[in-house]
Amino acid sequence: MNKIDSRYPALSAAPQRQSVVSFVLDRIKQAIINGEIAPGDTLPSEVEMTASLGVGKTSIREALKMLQAVGAVEIRQGHGTVLRSEPGPDMLTPLIFQLLLKDGTPTELIEFRKLVEPSYSLCAMEKAGPEDLAALEAAVERLESNIRNSCQTADDDLAFHRVILAATRNPYMISIGNTILELFRGSIEKSMQDRPNVAATDHRAILEAFKARDAEKLLAAIQNSYEGWSQSLQAQETERELGDWVEPRSA
């Protein structure tokens, strides 16, 4: 039995009826789920995985490159392939592509945000410390300053929500939440251009609720913030539909 077998059971199985690269990816994923490979660990070498999985080096290399592309691993020359403790800056976030490809309506997107945002905001408020409140204050002041200077962007708005996510101290909420925020980028960008002062007022209200540790006030402020954003979302959808419309040729 190869040495890798006892250390990495998930990496010691023969390929099933699926592409070889998909099989390798699935085995590595299972090894991570099983705790056989932890963040910061170096993965078995190409030679070890080739022997234990019964596949060629080319398939191993292709699978590792795919993991590198999504920011899951870092390939270090002379040191092997390391499972990242945090997603890399080059992360492609496959989840966001899947969500963006969904042909949902503005109403469905609004429903989705109403389901997700209040929950993580309440969690953040319960855990927020002085440094989190200071970061929220700074984000609001930066937004207000950029509005005064007419240089506000969606990033100014999203930065506020990212601070809230960070305050949850929950790695799952932070990772998924930051991915979900990208779904709203287009409509938030439009909101920043069409009604920036409304957004600033909404953020200030949410901040004050955080400071007061008032859950009812927080939920009301979040609910109120959807009004301006949903109008921008509907307007964005209308513009997209008009852009797709082609005037029929006359007979």
pLDDT one-digit tens code per residue, 74-96: 888 888 999 988 765 555 456 66
Whether residue 102 is found in the same domain as residue 42:
no
The residue among 223 and 3 whose pLDDT is bigger is: 223
CATH label of the domain that carries residue 17? 1.10.10.10
Residue 47 has pLDDT above 80, yes or no: yes
Whether residue 115 is found in the same domain as residue 235:
yes
pLDDT at residue 17, as a whole number:
44
pLDDT at residue 229, as a whole number:
79
**Inside any domain, residue 251:** no
**Inside any domain, residue 16:** yes
Residue 246 has pLDDT above 50, yes or no: no
Total tally of structural domains belonging to the chain: 2
Whether residue 68 is found in the same domain as residue 107:
no
Whether residue 138 is found in the same domain as residue 210:
yes
**Inside any domain, residue 88:** no
Whether residue 134 is found in the same domain as residue 157:
yes
**Inside any domain, residue 249:** no
State how far the Cα of 32 lies from the Cα of 49, in Å rounded to an integer: 15
Interval 219-233: pLDDT, tens? 999 999 988 777 767
List phi, psi (to 5°) of 77: -60, 125
What number is the average pLDDT over the span 205-226? Answer: 97
Angle at 223 between CA 221 and CA 228, to 5 degrees: 95
List phi, psi (to 5°) of 250: -75, 150
Whether residue 12 is found in the same domain as residue 65:
yes
State how far the Cα of 162 lies from the Cα of 146, in Å rounded to an integer: 18
Expressed as residue numbers, the domain containing 59 is 4-83
The residue among 230 and 244 whose pLDDT is bigger is: 230
**Inside any domain, residue 232:** yes
State how far the Cα of 211 lies from the Cα of 214, in Å rounded to an integer: 8
* Segment among 3-12, 16-25, 172-181, 209-218 with least mean pLDDT: 3-12
Whether residue 190 is found in the same domain as residue 149:
yes
CATH label of the domain that carries residue 109? 1.20.120.530
**Inside any domain, residue 50:** yes
pLDDT at residue 251, as a whole number:
38
Whether residue 101 is found in the same domain as residue 209:
yes
**Inside any domain, residue 52:** yes
* Segment among 123-127, 147-151, 180-184 with least mean pLDDT: 180-184
Q: Which two tokens stand for residue 14?
A: 């023969």
What number is the average pLDDT over the span 107-117? Answer: 88
Whether residue 31 is found in the same domain as residue 125:
no
State how far the Cα of 170 lies from the Cα of 119, in Å rounded to an integer: 12
State how far the Cα of 153 lies from the Cα of 155, in Å rounded to an integer: 5
Residue 170 has pLDDT above 90, yes or no: yes
